[in-house]
Amino acid sequence: MGVVHKPFELNNLLNRLTMRYNWQQEDWPNFTYSLSGVEDGIINFSEKLGRAAGVVDALPDHFGQDLMVYVMLTEAIKTSAIEGEYPNRLDVLSSTRKNLGLPYERSSTSSKSAEDLGALMIDLLRTFKEPLCEEKLFEWHRLLLGTAKYLTVGHWRTHNLPMQVISGALGKEKVHFEAPPSANVPQEMARFIEWFNNTAPNGKDEIKKAPFRSALAHLYFETIHPFEDGNGRIGRAIAEKALSQSVGRPVLISLSATIEAEKRLYYNALEHAQRSNDVTPWVEYFVETIVKAQTQAQAQIDFTLKKVRFFD
């Protein structure tokens, strides 16, 4: 997700003067919602997840490892593609396999940024049970953008200019919303992290429906947009962490592949969700996206299962 730090057209300025975003409203961040439109999707996700988990657990080790690597590689590549970045696939693959302790082939054009992206995917897998904390978010930010020379990396943003979330090609940018000012970020993120941990399993405000918690977590984080760059990628990692925590095991799906296939829907849903703290439409969109991602993962699992049967 791109950002700009100043308006670039008159309409944008007028929107800023008249729009009251969700974080500017009195009920922020007390989201309201109806789950009546997503109950079937949540049940569908749970059923598909249970079937997938059973199949994966029954696979021989090397097939299960290959499946895990494939899903993480797809997520790494597609989460970058949403932001208009295209890391070398072999570099990310090598990093992922290396960090899993598997044999890997090092590319002659290996880049640190691609290696760090693979490392982030592995860290997300291995630490999904751990509570979220400020330092973990800073660590992920450094893994994503540690080589960037023009950014403050591993810290919340501090600039005084408007933080706007945009999409579109240069010269055809569209502003979707404006995030809270940088001065508000430390307080907002402290509250977000507390909310995330309280809604986790055994938390005092536990949200048991995994896709629903994931939808809220992603929207909440993206609204704050706490970093100068990398918010979309970290926000999607948070969504997957929420899913994995709530189901009690790593969820082998690529949310980013599903989102990237229909980016316009994603940005439109995110933009609409900034107008009110009734987030029902956003939840319906995101739960549907999760179900689609699970369906795609199931297709890959079925393909792997056919390979196993072939070799048997």
- What distance in Å separates the CA atoms of residue 281 and residue 139, rounded to the nearest whole number? 32
pLDDT for 299 equals 79
Task: Assess contact for 266 and 239: CB atoms under 8 A.
Answer: no
In a domain, 158, yes or no: no
In a domain, 246, yes or no: yes
pLDDT for 102 equals 63
- Taking residues 158-163, report their average pLDDT: 91
Residue 168's Cβ-side half-sphere holds a number of Cα atoms within 13 Å equal to: 11
Task: Assess contact for 178 and 21: CB atoms under 8 A.
Answer: yes
Q: Which of 222, 221, 226, 166 is nearest to 6 (CA)?
A: 166
In a domain, 136, yes or no: no
Average pLDDT, the chain: 83
Quick one: what percent of the chain has pLDDT higher than 90?
A: 49
Burial class (CB in 10 A: 0-12, 13-18, 19+), 236: buried
Residue 7: pLDDT band (50, 70, 90) is very low
Determine the Cα angle at 66 with ends 60 and 68, to 5°.
Answer: 100
In a domain, 230, yes or no: yes
In a domain, 104, yes or no: no
Residue 214: pLDDT band (50, 70, 90) is very high
Q: What is the CATH number of the domain that holds 264?
A: 1.10.3290
pTM of the model: 0.82
Which of 5-19, 136-150, 234-248 is predicted least confidently? 5-19
Structure tokens, 233: 């990628």
Task: Assess contact for 67 and 59: CB atoms under 8 A.
Answer: yes
pLDDT at 14 over 50: no
pLDDT for 42 equals 93
- What distance in Å separates the CA atoms of residue 283 and residue 239, rounded to the nearest whole number? 12
Residue 222: pLDDT band (50, 70, 90) is very high
pLDDT for 306 equals 65
pLDDT for 73 equals 73
- Taking residues 88-115, report their average pLDDT: 65
Task: Assess contact for 234 and 144: CB atoms under 8 A.
Answer: yes
**Structural domains in the chain (count):** 1
- What distance in Å separates the CA atoms of residue 26 and residue 3, rounded to the nearest whole number? 26
- What distance in Å separates the CA atoms of residue 300 and residue 291, rounded to the nearest whole number? 14
Determine the Cα angle at 260 with ends 106 and 148, to 5°.
Answer: 55
pLDDT for 85 equals 74
Residue 205: CB atoms within 10 Å:
10
Residue ranges making up the domain that contains 72: 2-84+163-311
- What distance in Å separates the CA atoms of residue 234 and residue 246, rounded to the nearest whole number? 18
Structure tokens, 130: 């751990």
- Taking residues 123-140, report their average pLDDT: 95
In a domain, 124, yes or no: no
pLDDT at 185 over 60: yes
Structure tokens, 170: 């240069």
In a domain, 216, yes or no: yes
Angle between helices 210-224 and 39-58 (to 10 degrees): 110
Task: Assess contact for 241 and 61: CB atoms under 8 A.
Answer: no
Residue 6: pLDDT band (50, 70, 90) is very low
In a domain, 199, yes or no: yes
Structure tokens, 135: 């330092």
Looking only at the bridges linking them, the beta strands covering 2-4 and 174-178 are unpaired
pLDDT for 158 equals 95
